[in-house]
Structure 1
Amino acid sequence: MSLEIIGGARSRAFRVLWLAEELGLDYRHLSEAPHSALVSALNPLGQIPILRDDDVVLTDSLAILHYLADRADRFTFPTGTPERALMDARINFVLTELEAPLWMAARHSFVLPEDRRHPEIKPWLKDDFRDAGQRFTRLLDGAQFLAGDTFTIADIVAGHTIGWSIVAKFDPSDELKAYLRNLSDRPAWQRARAD
Structure 2
Amino acid sequence: MYTVIGATKTRTLRVMWLLEELGEAYEQEPANPHSDTALQHNMLGKIPALIDDGHSLTDSVAIMTYLADKHGKFTAPAGTPQRAHQDAMTLWLIDEIDATLWTNTRHKDALPGLEQQMHDRYAQSLKVLSNRLQSEFLMGDEMTVPDILAAHCMGWAAGAGFPPLDDKLKDYLKRMRARPAFRAALNH
User: Which TM-score applies when normalising by structure 2?
Assistant: 0.96
Q: Compute the RMSD of aligned alpha carbons.
A: 1.2
Q: Are positions 1:145 and 2:145 aligned together? A: no
The equivalent residue for 1:82 is: 81
Q: Are positions 1:47 and 2:46 aligned together? A: yes
Q: Are positions 1:162 and 2:154 aligned together? A: yes
* Distance in structure 2 (CA, Å) of the matches to 1:183 and 1:90: 17
* Distance in structure 2 (CA, Å) of the matches to 1:166 and 1:68: 27
Q: Are positions 1:108 and 2:107 aligned together? A: yes
Cα deviation, residue 119, structure 1: 4.3
**SS class of match (2:162):** coil
* Distance in structure 1 (CA, Å) of the matches to 2:159 and 2:34: 22
**SS class of match (2:95):** helix
Change beyond 3 A, Cα 1:84–1:43: same
* Distance in structure 1 (CA, Å) of the matches to 2:175 and 2:96: 21
Cα deviation, residue 150, structure 1: 0.9
- Per-residue CA deviation, residues 26-80 of structure 1 (Å, 9 max, x unaligned), is 1101110000001112110110000011311100001100111111100001111
Cα deviation, residue 176, structure 1: 2.2
Amino acid aligned to 1:102: L
**SS class of match (2:113):** helix
Q: Is the 8 A contact 1:108 1:119 kept in 2?
A: no
Change beyond 3 A, Cα 1:119–1:106: farther
For structure 1, which segment, 26-35 or 175-184, has the greater mean C-alpha deviation from structure 2 after superposition?
175-184
Change beyond 3 A, Cα 1:7–1:119: farther
Amino acid aligned to 2:24: L
- Runs (4 or more) in structure 1 with deviation over 4 Å come to none
The equivalent residue for 1:124 is: 117
Between the two proteins, the alignment pairs up a number of residues equal to 187
